[in-house]
Structure formats: structure tokens, C-alpha cells
Structure 1
Amino acid sequence: MMALIFCLYLITMVLAIKGKRNLAFYGFGVSLVVSLFWFSHHATDTLSILL
């Protein structure tokens, strides 16, 4: 899943360099939403640590 997030950001950077401003903004928004979803998935996951 992390590879997908990095690929989305890479595609967004390439679009920005190519001058596709609107697509770059949409790509960044999608990448940000996926990143926040992945963060919340890991932040709310219970840890199975026995102390």
C-alpha cells in the first residue's frame, strides 16, 4: 500500500512538471486522501503487546 501512495505522489509530481496543473492538483488531493486513510487505519489499529 505504501508503494501505491508513493506512486501516486510520483505521478502527481510528473504531472506538475509537465505543466498539467489541474490534474496535478487532483492527483495531490487523491494522494492526500489515500495517505490520511492509511494513517488512520494504522493509528486506530490495536496493538497486541502483552506487558
Structure 2
Amino acid sequence: MMSLLFLLLLIAMIGAYRNKKMLSYTFFAASVVLGLYWFHHHATDTLSILL
């Protein structure tokens, strides 16, 4: 999943370098949304610690 986020950000940076604003904004927004989802998944995951 993390590699997908980095790939989306790479595409956004390449699009920004080539002056493709809409492409860059779209991929950056998708990476932010997926990053927040991934953070929420890990932040609310229960830990299986047996003490």
C-alpha cells in the first residue's frame, strides 16, 4: 500500500514538472485520501498484546 502512495505522489510530481495541473492535483488528492485512510486503518487497529 505504501508503494502505491509513493507511486501516486511520483506521478503528481512528474505532472507538476510538465505543467499538467489537473493531473497533478488529482493524483495528489488521491494520495492524500489514501494516506489518510491508511493512517486511520493503522491508528484504529487493535493490538494483540498478551500480558
TM-score interval, smaller chain: over 0.9
Distance in 2 (CA, whole Å) between partners of 1:2 and 1:30 is 13
- Aligned residues with identical type, % of pairs: 55
- Tell me the matched-pair count: 51
Distance in 2 (CA, whole Å) between partners of 1:12 and 1:49 is 39
Q: Which amino acid aligns with 1:7?
A: L
Superposed CA RMSD: 0.7
List structure 1 segments (4+ residues) > 4 angstroms apart after TM superposition: none
What's the TM-score, normalizing by structure 1?
0.93
What's the TM-score, normalizing by structure 2?
0.93
Distance in 1 (CA, whole Å) between partners of 2:22 and 2:10 is 16
Match for residue 6 of structure 1?
6
| Post-superposition offset of 1:22 | 1.3
